[in-house]
Structure formats: C-alpha cells, structure tokens
Amino acid sequence: MKIAVLSCLVAAVCCAPQFQRPSLQDRDFIAILSDERQDQGDGSFAYVFEAANGIRENRVGSVGSKGQSNMQGTYLFPLPDGTFAEVRYVADEFGFRAESPLIPTDHPLPAHAIEQIRFAEEQRARGVTF
C-alpha cells in the first residue's frame, strides 16, 4: 500500500509543469521616463513616476495626527482599448479612499428594504428587541 501511494506521489511530481525562468532576452523592459523623489526627513515626502508604457503615479505624504503616514495622489495606467484609467486616492487616519469611474459602486437599496430598515429602527426606538 505504501509503495502504491509513493509511486503515485512520484508520478504526480514528475508530471507537474516545469517552470523555466525567462532569459534576459525574453523579458520586455519598460523605460522609466521620470522618477523624482523628495524626502523632507520629517515623514513628509513627494513622489512622481512615469514609465514609457503610460503608467504614471504621483504621491504626496505627510505625518498624520496619530503618527501614521497620510498620503494622497493619483495613478494612471493604459487600458487595452487605448484609453487610460485614473485612480485618485487618499490614505489617512480614516482609511484608504479611492475614486475612479472604474471602481464599482453600491446599487441603491430597493424601496421594500428601506421600509424594513425604517420599521426596524422604529421598533428599536420603542425598546423592542429580538
């Protein structure tokens, strides 16, 4: 029994796809057009990056009220149709918040769900608990 299990294990390992590291000639290199960084030494910084394939990012950071890094910026990247996606973001003591037309948004609640929520809040206000 042990030999059968061992044989199956060896066969599975031998049949697994082999990974080959691509050579330097096989890789696509993207030229970096600009990479500017400023560090004020007190936790605040500025960063601008642009690559030849259209990827761009800029970010500004400062020390937050609770010692965290507060950041805000934008990044852009090309889409398959030739247009660019842009994401604006803020990261601070209130969390990470991003804005972009590509980010899905919540659907509005249907009227019956809103009515159920209102009814539950009414009952809660009257002291009804379940």
* Phi, psi (deg, nearest 5) at residue 125: -65, -30
Q: What is the pLDDT along the chain (130 residues), one digit of tens a residue?
A: 677 666 666 666 666 666 565 555 656 788 899 999 999 888 899 999 999 989 999 999 999 888 888 999 999 999 999 899 999 999 998 899 999 988 888 888 899 999 999 999 999 999 988 7
Here the tokens at position 84 are 């660019």
Q: Are 54 and 25 in contact (CB under 8 A)?
A: no
